[in-house]
Structure 1
């Protein structure tokens, strides 16, 4: 009898412990679901905007998955035929899809690693103007609004004759893509010259 009473007491003592575990599991599930929904407000508009693109994979999500005012534009994979023009187009389409939102920074990342910080205001401007702005102008001036991950300007602002300025801006454009994804994709050392298409020839 004592043995049965002891077992009943032991079972009674164990049962209440299951409730906290249950609530903890439900709480974690709710948190994960909330983060998914929160990121979906960025991910899905961009995914829809890029639905016509093929080959490479680029996605958008919130920085640290929870940031209210910083997002990440992440190149996840690169097709052999990928070019700088393609990645520019994808970025500009993402900006257009989110033009009604305001962000302080947009991280330009490659496979989850941040490479540059793009001013949120410029990202918004690109989106608002994409329908009518000359894309060459957007490409030439983009680098002036890009910083390194420590916040220091990644590129300068050029002055002088328009032909010389345009040449320097395009050099900066090539270097930005080289440091963003081209060299990592091709396993090239830092400083390797990159052509306008993303090739090293």
Structure 2
């Protein structure tokens, strides 16, 4: 599971998908915190980037692993990992955020300097374009889910105002992807919800 920002609600989407598939759940941020012996809030962008690279190059079996880029997209190793991906039996799900949603994400960070906003939006759009190219190269091993703000919503609106509708949209989209994975034979249904152990990297 990949997205450009957390405004895609990728953790909600990933948890729902893991539940539907009876898979375990992990993230690059959780792994980075475990490896560094830090809290999640203390993890640095380069530390998370390394774990993202490792997850993409060697994804654990029967897990939904997710990652959204940190503010410092320049530290990202996501595109590099995707470009050399062995992808044995794994499927990449790309939550492709619209320009409006990326603008919304940038506007509602704590930093509000206008020049910084413009720069960060350009950086996010460039990153999205680079991932788009690599996702296209994966063919049937990739699923693209388009994520946008609700209709007629301005990017300046408070995130809390649209949170409920965004959560519902993420849950519904995860159900659609789960059904698609089952129908294509890329994932098989399990008789029981038996989850794998938590993934850690020491």
Shared topology, TM-score over 0.5?
Answer: no
- Shorter chain as denominator, the TM-score bin is under 0.3
TM-score (norm 1): 0.27
TM-score (norm 2): 0.27
